[in-house]
Amino acid sequence: MQKRPLGETGLLVSKICLGTMTWGQQNTEAEGHAQLDLALDRGVNFLDTAELYSIPPKPETQGSTERIIGTWLKARGSRDKVVVASKVVGRTAMDWFRGGRPSKLVREDIVHAIERSLRNLQTDVIDLYQIHWPERNTSGFGSNPNRQPTEPVERLSDETPIAETLTVFDELQKAGKIRHLGLSNESAWGVMRFIFESEKGVGPRVASLQNAYNFVNRTAEVNLTEVCERERVAFLPYSPLAQGFLSGKYDNGALPEGSRKVLFNRSQRYETPNAAEAILAYNTLAREFSMEPALFANAFVVNQSFVTSNIIGATSIPQLETALASADITWTPEMQNAVNDLHQKYGNPCP
C-alpha cells in the first residue's frame, strides 16, 4: 500500500489508517486482533486510538481499545512495524478520566493521560499524540459549522492557554514519551494558533490534523485544507462513511439489527434536515458506478489530493475488506465531477 509523508515528521504512513474505536464494545479483543492482522498484512502501518475509546464513552470501557492494541503489539512483536497514534481528551465534565474530577489540557491531566496510555499500549513511546478536541469552548464538537452562531461562543475564564498546553507536549517529547503532536476536531484558527506559538519557540510543531470529512461534510475544504497544505500539516480525515450512513445500510429508513444506530442512537449528526436525501443520492451514485456505497465513499476520501491517510473503521472483517479495497480504486475525473455536482446541490447537511 502506498505510504505518504506525515507532515514534516519524516514518518511515512499508509494512505489508509486503521481506526479502532469500536474495540471493547462492538468488537472483542479477538476481533480487534484479527482486524490488526489483516490490516498489517495488506500494508497498513498506521493505527489510531484514544484514551476515550471505546465508543460510546463509558467509565467501565474507557481505555479498552488501547489495551486491545497493547496485547496485540506484545503478542505479535509488531511495535516497530506500525505508527501508533492516540489522543488525550480536551476539556470535559466526564469525570472518570481523572479519578472523579473534570479534565483539562493542563500538565497534571496530560501527564496522567500519557502514562496510562503508554501502559495500556504496552509501549515506551506514542508516535503521534493528539489533542482529541480543543480546551476552549467552540461552536460544536468536531464540527465546522456552515453558519456563525447567533450568540457569541462564551470565552471561559479558566481557559488553558494554547502555549501552556504546548509546554507540556514539549516536556513529553523531550522525555521520549511522544514523538509528534497532532490535533483533532480543530478549526483553522486553532491550527494556526498552535503553529504560531510553536514558531515562537513554544513546544513542538503540529504534525497533523484529524477532522471529520465525507460526502455530506466537506467543511474541511477550503480553509482547513489550505492551512494543512501551506503549513505542511498532514490531514487525517475520520468518519468517511458518516457513521455508516454512506454504506447504504440505513437507506430509506432501514435499521439493521446490531448497527451502531440501533445499539447506541448517537447518530444525530447525520440525521439533520436534508441529510437523508443527500445520503441516498450519494449511495445511489455509487451504485451507478457499479460500486458498493462504502467502497465508493472511502475511495473518494483516500483519493483527495490534500488527504494524507483516511481513518477507516469496521466492526467485521468483510467491512474491513471493503475499506481496504478502496486503496486500489482508480478515482476518475468522471467520479469526482459527479460527486461535486451532488455537493453543489446538497452542500454540507452534516457539518
Residues annotated as catalytic are 53
Task: Tell me the β-bridge partners of 209.
Answer: 183, 235
Which of 66, 81, 17, 83 lies closest to 236 in space, CA to CA?
17
**Set of cell numbers at residue 3:** 505510504
Query: Residue 281, Cβ neighbours under 10 Å: how many?
Result: 16
Say whether the peptide bond before residue 216 is cis (omega within 30 degrees of 0).
no
Buried b (16+ CB within 10 A) or exposed e, 80-103: eebbbbbbbbbbbeeeebbeeeeb
- How far is CA 74 from each of CA 55, 68, 78, 247, 335, rounded to the nearest angstrom? 24, 10, 7, 34, 42
Task: Tell me the β-bridge partners of 214.
Answer: 217
> How far apart (Å, rounded) are the C-alpha atoms in residues 165 and 199?
15
Question: Is residue 224 within a helix (H) or strand (E), and if so which, with residue range?
Answer: helix 223-231
**Set of cell numbers at residue 6:** 506525515
SS3 content of the chain, % helix, strand, coil (to 5): 40, 15, 45
Question: Which residue type does 52 have?
Answer: L
Phi, psi at 167, each rounded to 5°: -65, -30
